[in-house]
Amino acid sequence: MINSAQIVYIRFDQKILIDMGKSMNFTGQPVLSQLLKLIDKQKILDLSRKMGCERYVKSLDGYTHLVVMLFGVLKHFDSLRELEIGMLAEANKLQHLGIDYMVRRSTLAEANKRRSQEFFANIYSMLLEQYGPFLADSRPRKEQKDWERLLFMMDSTTISLFDNILKGVGRHPKSGKKKGGLKVHTVMRYLVGVPMVVQLTSAAKHDHYLLKEVHLPQDTTLAMDRAYIDYAQFQRLTEEGVCYVTKMKKNLTYKVLKSTTYVNPKGLVTHTDQHIIFEKGDLQHASRRVELWSDNKKKSEVLLTNNFELSVEDIEEIYKRRWAIEILYKQLKQNFPLHFFYGDSVNAIEVQTWVVLIANLLCTIMQRKLKRHCSFSNLVTMTRLMLMYYIDFIAFLEKPEKDWEHILQKANYEPPNIEPILELDFD
């Protein structure tokens, strides 16, 4: 029971409440708009008109289509219905995204079916051409070997589909039904960290398809796995001045021209270096076979290369760097929605795949702009949660505790002595 001697104070300090409610990183544009600043809207519209993607289009132009798809991909929406509701929830912020049209799911479904995936592929190429040098230069400066500057890796990954829209591989072990599949063939430059060349095919397409299509600059180094072994293409790479490093298949036949075995002080074999030649019909290809033995492995690892001057340590290191492209695929599949698609046509699936690659590129650029370390998965998560927040995204990620420090500082504010403004008597 409160007696008459007790006083209840009601304090209203307007200054503190206002300061505590305002973010120190407040800005006039949402996070998505800050990402879109990396894209030239007028160039996108010009490209869309040039490719004939604006014919018979009333409202959903190429730029608006890209923005809406990026919104859905970055928010991890699994369906067009979710995407439509999400856009309606942010209706009062659309003008800051440079669009003035509220898309309906039927319109978006039709656009994904009819607007060519090549339009989005060209957008990716345009952004890569613009930001590729920045991504390469933004890597931490350290001593680099000659081969590291022009190191490329080639690989592919398969995206399973529920329906047999694109020809898949293999059958279900129980039902025997065959699912569809999309294969993403990629060439990535190590210093850039994003795909430089991308080809989308059905999952049934063999990996070495891309090896025949790609021509790299002279003096580059290409790391790839054993799925790409092709004597004719290896000879072509050698004639073009491209060094390749790959893993050797067990069933290959070859003739040994020279062999040297190296032993450590303990008397254990460390590696074997051989000059060999492959023969297939009229084709002859000279190669170098390096067999590596490790103390903690029971089996040896055999690598192939056409470079007879590199040290064994460099050859081993080049092949280890190939895992960077595997990390890229893991990054794409874990951080972006590629298990549910917004359409059931080949074009719609390829459009969404290209938008995911564009989103990955934009997020990578934002990550490289940061002065402090921030993992890619954390950056994508924060982008998803704060996509339509009016906050300076770079400044926030640079110092996320800034607002809280400001609040604590204001909490220590000593107000002047205030007379009681309300006295209650409960007797």
Report the C-alpha gap between 210 and 197 in whole angstroms: 9
pLDDT of residue 178: 58
Picking from 54, 153, 78, the residue whose alpha carbon sits closest to that of residue 341 is 78
pLDDT band at 13 (very low <50, low <70, confident <90, very high): very low
In which order are the strands placed within the sheet that holds 180-189? 195-202, 180-189, 151-161, 221-224, 243-247, 301-305, 283-292, 269-280, 255-263
Residue 226: CB partners within 8 Å, gap ≥ 6? 246, 247, 248, 249
Query: 261 in helix, strand or coil?
Result: strand
Give percent of the chain above pLDDT 70. Answer: 85
Report the C-alpha gap between 155 and 326 in whole angstroms: 8
Residue at token pair 């607007």: 115
pLDDT of residue 4: 45
Is 241:222 a contact under the CB 8 Å cutoff?
no
Tens of pLDDT, residue by residue over 161-216, are 765 666 555 555 555 555 678 889 999 999 999 999 999 988 888 888 889 888 99
Residue at token pair 């003035």: 100
State yes or no: pLDDT of 329 exceeds 60. Answer: yes
* Backbone φ, ψ for residue 291 (5° rounding): -105, 120
Give percent of the chain above pLDDT 90. Answer: 54
Residue 78: CB partners within 8 Å, gap ≥ 6? 337, 340
For the whole model, what pTM was predicted? 0.84
Is 166:303 a contact under the CB 8 Å cutoff?
no
**Average pLDDT, rounded, for the chain:** 85
pLDDT band at 407 (very low <50, low <70, confident <90, very high): confident
**Helix, strand, coil fractions of the chain, as percent rounded to 5:** 40, 20, 40
State yes or no: pLDDT of 305 exceeds 90. Answer: yes
pLDDT band at 413 (very low <50, low <70, confident <90, very high): low
Report the C-alpha gap between 92 and 255 in whole angstroms: 72
Report the C-alpha gap between 177 and 158 in whole angstroms: 18
Task: Count CB-CB contacts under 10 A for residue 103.
Answer: 23
Q: 422: number of CA atoms within 13 Å, CB side?
A: 7
User: What are the residues facing 158 on neighbouring strands?
Assistant: 183
